[in-house]
Amino acid sequence: MNLKKQKWVYLFQEGSRNMRDLLGGKGAGLAEMSAANLPVPPGFIITTEACNAYDESKGKFPSYMWDQTINALKQMEVETGKGFGDSSNPLLVSVRSGAKVSMPGMMDTVLNLGLNEITVEGIAFISGNRRFAQDSYRRFIQMFGRIVLNIPGDTFEQILDDCKQRNGLWSDTDLTTVHLEEIVQEFLSLVKERTGKDFPQDPLEQLDLAIKAVFGSWNGKRAIDYRNFYKIPHDLGTAVNVVAMVFGNMGNDSGSGVAFTRDPATGNQILYGEFLPNAQGEDVVAGTRTPASIAEMASSMPNQYRELVEIANRLESHYRDAQDMEFTIERGKLYMLQTRVAQRTAQASIKIAVDMANEGLISKEEALQRVDPLQINNLLLPRFDDVAKKEAIKSNNLLTIGLNASPGAASGKAIFDANRAEALALQGTDIILVRPETNPDDVHGMLHAKGVFTARGGATSHAAVVARGLGKPCVAGAEALKIDLRIRKCTIEGHTINEGDEISIDGSTGEVFLGAIDTIEPIISKEKELNILLGWADEIRRLGVWANADDPVATQRALDFGAEGIGLCRTEHMFFEEDRLPWMRQLILAASEATRLEEELQKLQIDASNTNQSSILKEQLTKQENKVAGSEDVKNFHESLRRFLQFQIQDFKEILGIMTGKPVIIRLLDPPLHEFLPKYEELLVDVTTLRLTGGDPSLLAKQEKLLKMIEEMREQNPMLGLRGCRLGILYSAITQMQARAIFTAACELIKEGRDPQPKIMVPLVAHANELRIVRHELELVAQAVQEEQNVTIHYKIGTMIELPRAALTADEIAPHAQFFSFGTNDLTQTTFGISRDDAEEKFLLKYVEQGILPENPFQVLDRAGVGKLMKTSVDLGRKANPGLEIGICGEHGGDPSSIEFCNNINLDYVSSSPFRVPVARLAAAQAVLTSHQLGLDFTDV
């Protein structure tokens, strides 16, 4: 590459559209505004490539970059009629970082660069305002000292405060020119003391150091952490923007402000923002003075307001999206200092997309792509009532703003340890778990808390990751939070909070409040724009969107959210209910012995019917018949089965009834049976205590039997043990009971004129024979029930594909199945050989942090491994059985990236949790739009 020719520096007017990669977001915006003849102060941009070259050479500017910078500076001098370092009419500049994507963690802006002992006099002369000049100089030393020279900001603040105190003054604005001159001298000595060098007086040296500081900040820790979290590549680099200063603090015909082309909170179409007369931009941000609403500018500065409105409209139609603009007015003249796509709440994002499509500014397809599906999730999470929150802010109850680590809002009592949080929550108290940081020992507290609030840790901290997984709000890394665990108190910015005091956290914004704030649970039918957007999504998507629901409440919710079927109804949850668990225990305790006795009897009966009955056989048969008839276990087993039959008929009737006309996939009992029994260790303690204290003998006998049973059932590796269809094959009476319940429920509904569509799903099939056997079993029951009731049911039988062997032999399994559903939770566990419960808390998060795995494969489907098995399975399965219907019911069914993959491998539907149904509807539409844009065509397989 010819380095001399390489262009490292662009004047604003030299930039053009689509140069964001090279010029960064801020630079590209300034260049585009210049090109459109909007009022932008003169300036130039040093490219992101220069930043990368600087990094590669370990801190040296690339050749000719500096020469080009000097040339650009000269051009600025011409345009402004000022001179950089000129004693009579000095040019001052701001130095601003600006990567391609807006990134907190990058260097702060340095204003007023170019000031020194000499130029400060020039500014005083030109402005006719000595105080202004000195104030600008002290601000510059302060900013440069903090940002470029890394001197702690509070050492400067201390000097300021001391001066005010000495002179009995309240605010910065009370400082006179003389005070400011004193402060400047003290600042200069501070710099000398801290750096061992004089404050750089040469403006070019100032510029050189500032540019290096911007470049260096690209690889600062905060910036790297941020990029890791948001998966932003590390080789983008940041640009440096050098902009001629304009002054909003030159009197009452000057000022600074921020404006949004639409309200970023609601999406309403009004110019929204804040304006501070006689102030520099930093004053607006610093919050030392309360800015006025931008609407007030209409009366105080009507001409500038009109110009601003016009510019806002032009920018919005140019960028075809809502913009966030920074501007300054210097002595009546308006300057634009930044424009970028406005950050917005979920609500605003959806409203703006829908409005813009209705206004014809963008197409419906674009509107669909403008909204991040996960934002919909946030919109449907509990949030603080707007009025109540404003009230809380007004009453000074906003304690601090930490990192918005997991969205949603919650109020509760502040509790400082997990055990106490759990205990109180179990008594029905709402808890916010407040910790310095969390680790796996705190998870039980997090599970029971309404929200989590920590002092340390970023967006990938344990607290953040776990809270997001649990769908609970979390504010993390609130540095102001100091917890004293010994005395059970914490302080935040001077407020003391005792354990048990009520606090509120907003995980979507990071705000933490004292006291409780009313929360609202959004109701989807009331979200007008959301429903319009989802309607458009439904027109475009190819995938069906179903939901996982285990009970009538969840089923109804799924339907309300737009689910077209139930993709997974897990029956085991029905066994856990309090009034049923004793029956379940009875069933389990009796199952093995009862099944053994009955099977022996059956064998004898078959033998007896086949051969000429010998008297020995006959005798054996009678003996066995008596054994069965007299067996307590057989009695208990069938009694509990009968109970469950009744329970389950009711359960299925409700769910199938709600979903009338729509498919409901019911999965047969799946988990290992020990899950329904007490924990071995706990029971052991119980029994031992009973023995030692000579407790109730009949209770002791019962508990001892249970203990023995549990002992026998103990497995080294229960997730790979007796569960899934293995259980149903071993204890076929359970399978038959479940089938009878499903078919009976369906018959009863049909007689009531409804249209139940049950589909029975066999879990954990590894070998085609397993499905063949269970299917046969199910069909016998179906036939019997239909005959008894004289009703025809439209049912289907299929299987879950959740083991690699099943995926690889899908062609052998498919002839026995009418549908497949990918159980990607187990499929991910068995493909990786990772037990999720053990891994997520121990090493999986580390793996993700260290980049060993790109994502947590339990959240985002692993396309290369698990995905390949799925694709194989789809291809093999459809070849063997063209009518096979295929969906996914793992948690991935609600994750946008995984949904895209499911679209691409041509599944028929995805099934997610009910709350994720709207997310999935949008994500499924986006998957189609992306595949069209990529020119992919998956639809005709």
Q: Which are the catalytic amino acids?
A: 462, 889
Is 41 near ligand ADP (CB under 6 A)? yes
Q: 726 vs 671, 729, 731, 767, 848, CA distance in Å? A: 10, 5, 9, 11, 34
Least distance from ligand ADP to the Cβ atom of residue 42, Å: 10
Pairing mode, if any, of strands 292-293 and 796-801? unpaired
Is 203 near ligand ADP (CB under 6 A)? no
Least distance from ligand ADP to the Cβ atom of residue 325, Å: 9
Chain centre distance of CA 871: 27
Partner whose footprint covers residue 801, from ligand ADP, Mg ion, none (CB < 5 to 8 Å by kind)? none
Partner whose footprint covers residue 918, from Mg ion, ligand ADP, none (CB < 5 to 8 Å by kind)? none
Is 281 near ligand ADP (CB under 6 A)? yes
Compare residues 79 and 282 and give the one whose CB is closer to Mg ion: 282
Bridge-partner residues for 110, per DSSP? 95
Burial of 116 (0-12, 13-18, 19+ CB in 10 A): buried
Least distance from Mg ion to the Cβ atom of residue 763, Å: 6
Is 243 near ligand ADP (CB under 6 A)? yes
Compare residues 281 and 562 and give the one whose CB is closer to ligand ADP: 281
Q: Is the dihedral of CA 29, 31, 36, 39 positive or negative?
A: positive
Contact (CB, 8 A) for 104 and 154: no
Partner whose footprint covers residue 802, from Mg ion, ligand ADP, none (CB < 5 to 8 Å by kind)? Mg ion
Is 339 near ligand ADP (CB under 6 A)? no
Quick one: which of 304, 345, 344, 354 has its CA closest to 322? 344
Give the Cα-Cα-Cα angle 199, 108, 255 (nearest 5 degrees).
Answer: 95
Least distance from ligand ADP to the Cβ atom of residue 28, Å: 13
Least distance from ligand ADP to the Cβ atom of residue 8, Å: 20
Least distance from Mg ion to the Cβ atom of residue 889, Å: 9
Segment near ligand ADP (CB under 6 A); pick from 136-144, 237-245, 589-597, 650-658: 237-245
Partner whose footprint covers residue 96, from Mg ion, ligand ADP, none (CB < 5 to 8 Å by kind)? ligand ADP
Least distance from ligand ADP to the Cβ atom of residue 254, Å: 11
Burial 263-282 (b: 16+ CB within 10 A, else e): bbebbebebbbbbbbbbbbb
Q: By three-state DSSP, how is residue 667 classified?
A: strand
Is 337 near ligand ADP (CB under 6 A)? yes
By beta carbon distance, the residue nearest ligand ADP is 281
Compare residues 330 and 802 and give the one whose CB is closer to ligand ADP: 330
Compare residues 328 and 738 and give the one whose CB is closer to ligand ADP: 328
Partner whose footprint covers residue 408, from Mg ion, ligand ADP, none (CB < 5 to 8 Å by kind)? none
Partner whose footprint covers residue 503, from Mg ion, ligand ADP, none (CB < 5 to 8 Å by kind)? none
Quick one: which of 724, 813, 722 has its CA closest to 767? 813
Is 217 near ligand ADP (CB under 6 A)? no
Sequence-ordered list of residues with C-beta below 8 angstroms from that of 699, at least 6 positions apart, any chain = 690
Rule CB under 6 A: choose which of 96, 138, 472, 723 binds ligand ADP: 96
Quick one: which of 502, 516, 514, 523 has its CA closest to 388? 516
Is 30 near ligand ADP (CB under 6 A)? no
Compare residues 134 and 881 and give the one whose CB is closer to ligand ADP: 134
Pairing mode, if any, of strands 90-91 and 83-84? parallel
Compare residues 326 and 770 and give the one whose CB is closer to ligand ADP: 326
d(CA 637, CA 599): 14
Is 109 near ligand ADP (CB under 6 A)? yes
Beta strands in 297-402 (DSSP E): 323-330, 333-341, 383-384, 398-401
Compare residues 283 and 529 and give the one whose CB is closer to ligand ADP: 283
Is 28 near ligand ADP (CB under 6 A)? no
Contacts to ligand ADP from residues 125-154, by CB under 6 A:
none
Contact (CB, 8 A) for 824 and 892: yes
Contact (CB, 8 A) for 634 and 661: no
Q: How many residues interact with ligand ADP (rule CB under 6 A)?
A: 16
Contact (CB, 8 A) for 514 and 336: no
Is 238 near ligand ADP (CB under 6 A)? no
Rule CB under 6 A: choose which of 32, 77, 274, 326 binds ligand ADP: 326
- Tokens found for residue 792: 């025809």
Segment near ligand ADP (CB under 6 A); pick from 239-247, 569-577, 711-719, 841-849: 239-247
Is 80 near ligand ADP (CB under 6 A)? no
Q: What is the C-alpha end-to-end distance of the chain, expressed in Å?
A: 47
Rule CB under 6 A: choose which of 111, 455, 666, 800 binds ligand ADP: 111
Partner whose footprint covers residue 823, from ligand ADP, Mg ion, none (CB < 5 to 8 Å by kind)? Mg ion
Backbone angles phi, psi at 505, to 5 degrees: -125, 140
Is 242 near ligand ADP (CB under 6 A)? no
Compare residues 281 and 457 and give the one whose CB is closer to ligand ADP: 281
Bridge-partner residues for 495, per DSSP? 492
Compare residues 246 and 348 and give the one whose CB is closer to ligand ADP: 246
Give the Cα-Cα-Cα angle 791, 793, 795 (nearest 5 degrees).
Answer: 165
Least distance from ligand ADP to the Cβ atom of residue 242, Å: 9
- Tokens found for residue 276: 């501070």
Is 328 near ligand ADP (CB under 6 A)? yes
By beta carbon distance, the residue nearest Mg ion is 826
Is 323 near ligand ADP (CB under 6 A)? no
Q: By three-state DSSP, how is residue 34 classified?
A: helix
Least distance from ligand ADP to the Cβ atom of residue 326, Å: 4
Q: Which residues bind Mg ion (CB under 5 A)?
A: 326, 338, 802, 823, 826
Partner whose footprint covers residue 243, from ligand ADP, Mg ion, none (CB < 5 to 8 Å by kind)? ligand ADP
Give the Cα-Cα-Cα angle 263, 476, 510 (nearest 5 degrees).
Answer: 15
> Residue 829 carries which side chain, given as an amino acid letter?
Q
Least distance from Mg ion to the Cβ atom of residue 96, Å: 7
Rule CB under 6 A: choose which of 136, 249, 338, 830 binds ligand ADP: 338
> Residue 110 carries which side chain, given as an amino acid letter?
V
Q: How many residues does the structure list for the chain? A: 941
d(CA 589, CA 736): 18
Partner whose footprint covers residue 111, from ligand ADP, Mg ion, none (CB < 5 to 8 Å by kind)? ligand ADP
Is 245 near ligand ADP (CB under 6 A)? yes
Chain centre distance of CA 123: 50
d(CA 759, CA 662): 10
Partner whose footprint covers residue 826, from Mg ion, ligand ADP, none (CB < 5 to 8 Å by kind)? Mg ion
Q: Give the dihedral of Cα atoms 385, 391, 397, 400; nearest 10 deg.
A: 60
**Numbers of helices and strands, H then E, in the chain:** 38, 33
Segment near ligand ADP (CB under 6 A); pick from 160-168, 244-252, 444-452, 480-488: 244-252
Is 94 near ligand ADP (CB under 6 A)? yes
Please report where in the chains the tokens 């491998």 appear, as a residue. Answer: 905
Q: Give the dihedral of Cα atoms 738, 741, 744, 746; nearest 10 deg.
A: -90
Segment near ligand ADP (CB under 6 A); pick from 31-39, 242-250, 369-377, 800-808: 242-250
Q: By three-state DSSP, how is residue 887 classified?
A: strand
Least distance from Mg ion to the Cβ atom of residue 695, Å: 40
Q: Is the dihedral of CA 500, 451, 829, 461 positive or negative?
A: negative
Contact (CB, 8 A) for 408 and 508: yes
Segment near ligand ADP (CB under 6 A); pick from 55-63, 241-249, 415-423, 799-807: 241-249
Q: By CB under 6 A, name the binding residues for ligand ADP.
A: 41, 94, 96, 109, 111, 243-246, 256, 281-282, 326, 328, 337-338
